[in-house]
Every structure is written in C-alpha cells, then in structure tokens.
Structure 1
Amino acid sequence: MNPNNEKYAEALRRLLVIMNELRAKCPWDSKQTLDSLRHLTIEECYELSDAILEGDLEEIKKELGDVMLHIVFYSKIGAEKKAFDIADVMNGVCEKLIARHPHVFGDVTVKNEADVKRNWELLKLKEKGDNPSVLAGVPKSLPALLKALRIQEKAHAVGFDWQRREEVWEKVEEEIAEFKESMSREEAEQEFGDLLFSLVNYARFVDINPETALEKSNKKFIKRFNYIESATLGAGKTWQEISLAEMDAYWEEAKDVQDKSWTPSKK
C-alpha cells in the first residue's frame, strides 16, 4: 500500500461523509451509543475471525469493512462528545507503534521475534506508570482460553516461565493425574481448569495458538457431523431410527472422504 496514493485518503473521506449523513438522518444510526455498539462490534470481530479461519479473502475484505465502520462510528460519537475524533484515534495508534518499536524507529537492537514481544510487554508496563501489575493489561472480558494465553505471555515477559517444554509437559501429566483422582465435582472442576491452563501453557511453548487450534477442531467436528446428518437423510432415516454403530460408521467414512470441496446435502 503506497501511503501517497490519494485513493486511500479519498476512501476514508467518503466513509466519514457517509457516517455523518447516517448519524444525522438515519433513525437507527442517530440513536446509537458507545454502549449499544459494543456487542455488535464483538460480533463483527468474530465474523472476521471466521472469515480468516476459512481463508476466504473476499469475506475477509467485507468483514474488515464492517470493523472499519465501527471504528469510524465510535470516533464520530467521540467527536460529538468533544473527546476524540478519527484523527486522534489514528495518530494515537501511530505514536504507540513508534514508541513500542524502538528497534525500528530508535536505536534498540533485537535478536529475534521473542525479543520484540518481550520488549513490547515491558514497554506497555512502563507506560502504565509506577509499579503497575504485570497482568493488569489482560482484558477481563477475554474468552477464558485466550485470557490464559495472555496471562502466560505477560508472565513470560518478566521472566516468570518454565525453561524447557519437557517441564511443561510434565506439569500437564501431573494435572491429568490430579483431575483423574478428583473426589468431588468442585474438586474436579478446579483440577480440570488447572489442566486446561497447563495445556495452554504447553501450546504456547510449541508455538500453537490454543484458541485457533480448538476452533479448527470445532469446525472439523461440525463438518463431519454434518456428513452424518446428510448420510442419514440420504438413507431415508431419522435420528430415532439410526443406531450409534451406523453413526460411527458414517463418522469414519467422513474422515476418509471429506475434503474442502464437500458440502452438506441440501435435502
């Protein structure tokens, strides 16, 4: 993207003009607040995430537009409150990027990506003033799996971490044993949480995003289960008529024949 290309500035101007018109003339848009938009923004981010996981570039473009609309919408409301506008938003993130990349815009030297991430977290702490909590920047509303990952990453940034992944796996095995030995539901719930936390930790050590990995497994299960549904309907049966053994057979068949081109039957 050439920043000197006028088409980018023109596209942003066009969106700002449309936003002003909507805010002034549309009954729905004119009533929206920061709070009322919040859950819609979260939904748009999840839709963008779905498009990314599907590798659908056209859908990614569409969903990025929806997210951009929300950024402009919040900025419009901020301008009405005389708190901030879209220029403040963009300049703010520019200043943040410059400050947090001293190895690009300053004289700091880094060896690798790990150094960059470590410096990023330490600079964030410095920005928060005297004696900030290392974990204070973890959003409270993050899904639990992602929150576990961010907690561990922030602890790692200040040196509180395992040294070898073999040690982390030993911890996983320890948590599995403790979960299996749980005597009550409350204890089992606690030990299961510890087990998940340790698995997230191991995933981090082997450079796997646990949220992405789990979502891919979710999608794989849905695709194979849809195959079972389609095969069941194709055999002229209902859920009440098909046996577990038949479902297992269809499941194994789905594993063998499914690929990206397969779609569920429209029957």
Structure 2
Amino acid sequence: MLKIASIACSLSLATSAALAQDRLPIDQEELARVSPVLQAYTKDDLFGRVWQDPALSKRDRGLVTVAALIARNQTDELSDYIRLALENGVTPAEISETITHLAFYAGWENAMAAVDEAADVFEDRNVSANQLPAVDPDTMLPLDEEAEASRQSFVQETYGNVSQGVVDNTEQLLFLDLWLRPGLEPRDRSLVTVAALIASGHVEQITFHLNRAMDNGLSKDEASAMLSHLAFYAGWPNVFSAMPVAKDVFESREG
C-alpha cells in the first residue's frame, strides 16, 4: 500500500501546508521507481494544479475524494486521504457522517471497509465518541414537506408494485431520517452523494441528486470543478458519462 513519504522534490506551484510535498497521500519516490511519467502527472497536474484550483475548496476536494474512494471501495490510500481531508478543515464528525451516508449510497460493505481505515486515523488523533454524531440527535434538520410528498408520490406510483420494501425504506430511512441528520450540512451531504454516484458510474441517479445539491447551495462552478477533480479519481470515462447529465441539469436551471 502506498503511504505518505518524505521526498526532496517540491510542487511546481505553491501549496498549502496540508498539501506540502512531504504530506501527499502518495509515495512519490516509489511512484517514480515504477512510472516516472505517472509521478510527473501526479506531482505537477493532480496535486500541483487540480488540488490548487480555487474553484473548489480543498475542504470540499477532501470530501469529494473520500466519497469517491469509498464508493469505489479503493481503501489502500483512504486513511491518508481522510487525514488530508481533516487537515483541510473537514471534521471527524463529518467524516463519520459521510461514511454512514455512503453505506446507503455505496453499500454497507464499502462503508465497513472505510470504517477500518478511519478507525486508525481517529485513534491517532485521539478522536473520542463525544466528537462524533449522536445516534439520536436532539434536533433534526427541517423537512421540505411539499418536496418530500412529491418525491414519495412519484416513487410510490412508479415502483410500489416492484418493491414496496425499497419504497418504504427510501422514505423512512433515507429522506425522513438520514438526509435530516445534522451531522453533515445538506450541501455537503449532496456533494458526497453526487461524487459517489459519479465515481461508481450511476449516471441515471445524478440528475435528481445534482439538482438537489444545487438547491442545497452547490454552485455551478463548484459542480464543474468537482467533475474535473473526479476525472483523476474515478477515471475519464465515468466523468464523461456524467457530463451530459450535468450539462442538462445546468441548462435546465438557467432556462
């Protein structure tokens, strides 16, 4: 597994302390021994340029990357990216809630694999249970009752005769519980959802969730930057599969 290593080279562009060359979640020396070309792309383009683009904050990039790795069950460097996210302003509570959220959107076992990686990071940082979201929060986020009624009516009419269990759990567990938990702001919850959908190639689900993300405060520029970021972590084909959907969402909101 590639691990953080101290190396002599420096980034071609100025970086924050959290993205200093000796703090990258990829061992540049080992990478150079295997593929000097890939090492150059990693140093100069991924960390030297993409991570420095202010169109999406480093905090958001941390959340997006963690979500993509969980969705793809790529845990070799996940603990290092969790550390990077924490160093860029993501809280342990937000990491915890992201993992919980993605259990529903990426599958239970992918979330369990992420728990194993996060546990080591939390232990190293002395993160205690009282720093993490409560099982039963004192106050849940407000519900848009009209929007939820419309969503539920559509799902019931469309899929009730296919699997009432899925319809019921979608309503009760997801939209009347998970999405109302205060441990992750609605914008951030939408952000990690869209990132996970793109990373796992679930194009058909993106329209609803990208619109919801933008309703929750994600800007078009931020959404565009997220696509550019995810090309490196999910691959160009997955991003280009998502691009027509994003284009339609952007155009529909501008009309």
Q: TM-score, normalised by structure 2?
A: 0.22
- After TM superposition, the score normalised by the length of structure 1 is 0.21
Report the structure number with the largest CA radius of gyration. Answer: 1
